[in-house]
Structure 1
Amino acid sequence: MLVLLAAAAPVRIYGIPMLGSIAVLDVMLLLAGLVLYIETASRRTVDIGYMPVFQLLCIPLLVTVLSATWSQDLARTGKAVLINIEGIIVYLYMIRCTNRLPVARVLRLMRWYLVFLLVPVVLLLLKVPGFAPQEPGLSQSSGDYISYYTRLSHPFLGRSNNLATALAALVIPLLWCGTRYRDRRSTRVGALGLAAIILTFSRGVLLALLITAAAAILTRPMPQYGRPGRSARVGGAVFAAVSLLLVAAALLYELNPDTRLFLGDRTSTVNVAERGSRFELAYHYIIERPLLGYGAGAIPGSNQQIASGVHNTYLQQFLAFGLPLGLLVIGSMVGLARFFFVTDPPSPVRRMVGFTLLAQLLIFVTESSFEGTVLRVLFYLSLGLAVGLVRAVEAQAPSRAEAAVSAKVGTVRTVFHERATAIGKGGAGDG
């Protein structure tokens, strides 16, 4: 819970000798790594969840370390290596914490994590001291500072897009499990997270979720017989959720003057044009160094216009690693989603995690969130929780062979009961 709390509110402590600053999350992950090391040394083994998933997660780390040999900024590349290591640590630690937990307890961890993410947001809007935007060098009179208050943003993670990206990794599992297991708590918290995403007005995240929802509906298995009322229940829940979101958006617009004042920028094309110019610069620098790139975290040509990224994770990989290794890293991301989709026999819970990762892949088209100092760690953390949920569901459900035997035993018992009843009635009539 402390790791989840530190991840949801990664407060930075400044004035640290040599380092300058350090986040509370960094300290917690250092302790988590120490715990994993001690347990691995004593047991001579470590739980990595699913081997293919762990191998795919290690590819970005290995390529980042390799890029240090040609990087134009070794300090930034070294920082990128540390971020990748922290991501691996938090993934393994979530696997450790969810090992052998029942589904209900894994869902409880996910619910608390989502709530932890939203608490600083509320305190930011209430302008509580200590929860003002923590972006370095940000003037309180600037439009960027005011934008934190026009739509839901996070004081420590950054503006609305970053918050929406972190929430999107939790909303789909909670809503799916809430519907499947009739878990009202998960449904309510998942709906709360979805409402928060709507109120961020993050166009890229909202579009990614809509595309993912459409893909899930169009590819869903045929409904089973004997459950005619489920479609009506799901339809009613969707209608209620959409109504709630519209009401929440209207209330934010009416009650928050900053939102009314600055919401017009969401419908303008200025932001789109600015991103287009970043894409053009990215293509220019990729053509200059197509084989090796500029190194992980390095700013191509020291161009400050793209110092904060090009708002596209895939172009960012090509800039850092060149086309061959960039494709390798992108392939590892796609491979994560493919692992959960390609299962035999088909697994509903794995399919759900696959769609969760698909949503993240679509978000990466409009965001460089995978390159963020904290957001990459949160991606690994959410994936560790998702893997823990899959393992809990599969451990709780009977195996395929056991299910087949149970079905046969149930059939035999039913036939025996019917025949015994018929014989009993016949005997009573003769008497």
Structure 2
Amino acid sequence: MSGRTSLIARGVALAGGAALVWRRWTQGPMPPAAVGGAPHIPPGRPQGAVPTLKMPTARGWSEGQLPVAAAGLKVNAFAAGLKHPRWIHVLPNGDVTVAEAMQPLRTPKNVFDHAMVATLQRAAAIGTSPNRITLLRDADGDGVAETRETFLQGLRQPFGMALVDGTFYVGNTDGLVAFPYTPGTTRIDAPGRPLTKFKPGGHWTRSLLASPDGKSLFVGVGSLTNIGDLGRDVEEGRACIVELDLASGRERIFAGGLRNPVGMAWHPETGELWTVVNERDGLGDETPPDYLTSVREGGFYGWPYCYWGRTVDDRVQPQDTALVAKAITPDYALGGHTASLGLCWMPRGTLPGFDEDGMVIGQHGSWNRSVLSGYRVVFVPFANGRPTGAAPRDILSGFLAPDESESYGRPVGVAIGPDGKSLLVADDVGDVIWRVAPG
């Protein structure tokens, strides 16, 4: 970072700090977390050109230091020394593939963006992307991967992965690519076959989920901007979940109005698609909440015109009253700006103390809040195909220093381990894959 950029960033940070103190003083005490099926969401208060900007400095884990597992559980490093691991996919033979990628360093667009880029650098969230997928193998079943191989390299910010009928699919930021896969192989050298194109930039992750019958792939494609700031045209084909028919190559928008849908999972009993969505910034600590929701075919979930059902965001002009009238209220609020990214279904009894079916969510953590939120892995219990309404329960925490000035790690992708009795968690600041198991 240049000296000029550093000075600009410090200036904006000081202005942001003063604005943050002013907001705390004028807005009163911190509102309760907006969680559950009927959350209390404070009225939105636009923060203007200098929104709240607070992120911890990336520190990493000291030798022997671990996250905090819930009672009855233990945690160990399944694999350490990775480079910004974001997403996890478990193959049928028990091998684990890990996408290592990050947002590349960019030229700031304005004064506030100088501060944002500097903050992202300090938080280890932006830099030189590894652009590879690593394969991990725990052949002796002791909970630590003893084999590590570069499975694929030379990719474009890879994220989502799926294996269907001998083909390994990768969600690059600019498109979906297919590779031939041989069971048990530790490396793919064959060139990829492009299937679709996506617009890079903005929310760059492209999560993947195969349909239960293996005929389709679902792709999470986030928006370019916060609230459609650059107009509707640049958001075409974004802020949605795309379905790709593998036989015909046809693609369509399965559901829209989803600002940044990342993790996806199937409910094994109802067959419904579920996702976690990062909502918009700049309206307050708990406004609006990120959310977990079932996804209806053809459904519209509000972005950018409204949030949590039909609460209109007056910053968006012109409005679209017809789309607002169609907006679906999400199923379950996860609190404001938690950056809920990872998602997987966890059957009851997978981990001791978690005796209900439910969803596991990796919360990467906030930047647009006066008090940090997220930075943990949580469990949302389900019954009769829906969240019970109970508050999320911690599975893994302790990613932040006590004063919240530093982060030891930040959880992202989550997956049930190859043994079916453990949970794997990608930690992109800690450069590690954690394994949570019965204690």
TM-score by length of 2: 0.29
**Larger fraction in strand:** 2
Relative to total residues, which structure has the larger helix share, 1 or 2? Answer: 1
Q: Which is greater in Rg?
A: 1
Query: Which of the pair has the greater relative contact order for Cα pairs under 8 Å at 6+ separation?
Result: 1
